[in-house]
Amino acid sequence: MTNSAFLIAAEGLEKHYPGVRAVDGISLGVRAGQCFGLLGPNGAGKTTTLEMLEGIQTPTAGRVLFQGRPLDRDFRERIGIQFQATALQDFQRVRESLAMFAALYQHHADLDELIQLCHLGEILERDTRKLSGGQRQRLLLAIALVNDPALVFLDEPTTGLDPQARRNFWALIDRVRARGTTLLITTHYMEEAERLCDEIAIVDHGRILIQGRPSALIDAHFPAAILRLPSSAWPADESLPANAERRDTRIELYVDEVPAALEQLERHGASLIDLRIDRPSLEDLFLKLTGHSLRA
């Protein structure tokens, strides 16, 4: 498939620093209307990749294309960015902050619609220094959308939020997607990636390990279920079956048929008191590919 099929595409991106190859030949494409996730542990190269896609960093090698063309001045008018950390102007109200950022663009979104979309109506007159974590993230998303962009970059947008605020933010992302906006997101939260992303790329050591739809990737690498039990639940004189692995203080069995697997455990004399049955997840996939946690 040609890169003209993608809203934004990377071709062989590399970024070198003295003694470090932070990004090592990453190629990917994001289609219009998609939510695309870049996943990986700290130091994997995902933020550097994101900054090259945003046009903030210049690649050492490779290129980025937007609508089939190299990045140009128009590109900056067509994208929005929500950074990991953004400094807001002190002694400024939410309404004033939105208006200030809107004035930076030749064209901006209808601010009343944006206020409604991001649920900012009740905090418009609040000093930005007095916002809660969730309120601040909603304002930062509104700022990223203030120029009515075709593509929005979200760099770990829910880090530090409590679970309820994180889920509220997911619902807000659903509203943004319903408008046809394309999203490219980095996150450490695998539940978040499974919930939001149409397609993901797992990155480690500056390279893409695997790419595709989350459910398809999981199905391709795992059977239907994972049975987890403490290592102490397994009889000391019994060897592990071929479909089992020992991980830290637990044993995991990968199975297609749970009833048959339970019978297998009983035959081996395993204790089922602390047994847990899980659907394979992106976290499991990353552990399988790299041997360490996505949050490492």
Q: How confident is the model at residue 208 (pLDDT cuts 50, 70, 90)?
A: very high
Q: What is the mean pLDDT of the chain?
A: 91
> With 90 as the cut, is the pLDDT of residue 29 above it?
yes
70 and 104: one domain? yes
SS3 (DSSP) at 231: helix
Question: How confident is the model at residue 11, as a pLDDT?
Answer: 96
> What is the C-alpha to C-alpha distance for residues 157 and 253, in angstroms, rounded to an integer?
34
* Sequence-ordered list of residues with C-beta below 8 angstroms from that of 55, at least 6 positions apart, any chain: 64, 71, 75, 76, 79
Checking if the pLDDT of 294 tops 60, the result is no
Residues 40 and 154 in one domain: yes
pLDDT tier, 2 (very low <50, low <70, confident <90, very high otherwise):
low
Taking alpha carbons only, the member of 170, 179, 171 closest to residue 151 is 179
Check whether residue 150 and residue 185 sit in a common domain: yes
**CATH number (domain holding residue 121):** 3.40.50.300
Task: Show the domain range for 235.
Answer: 223-279
Residues 127 and 182 in one domain: yes
285, part of any domain: no
Are both 93 and 127 inside the same structural domain? Answer: yes
Please say which residue of 200, 218, 236 terminates a domain.
218
Residue 286 located in a structural domain = no
Looking at residue 264, the DSSP 8-state letter turns out to be H
Rounded (5°) CA angle 195-84-143: 85
b/e sequence 147-157, b meaning 16+ C-beta within 10 Å: bbbbbbbbbbb
pLDDT band at 106 (very low <50, low <70, confident <90, very high): confident
Euclidean distance between CA atoms 29 and 207, whole angstroms: 15
**Structural domain total, the chain:** 2
pLDDT band of residue 200 (cuts 50, 70, 90) is: very high
In percent, the amount of the chain with pLDDT more than 90 equals: 71
185: confidence class by pLDDT, cuts 50, 70, 90: very high
Q: Is residue 231 part of a domain?
A: yes
Domain boundary among 177, 197, 218: 218
Residue 136 lies in a domain: yes
Say if residue 102 is in the same domain as residue 203. yes
Would you say residue 293 lies in a domain? Answer: no
For residue 160, the model assigns a pLDDT of 85
Provide the angle, in degrees to the nearest 10, between the axes of the packed helices 163-178 and 133-144: 20
* Same domain, residue pair 167 and 271: no
pLDDT band (50, 70, 90) for residue 112: very high
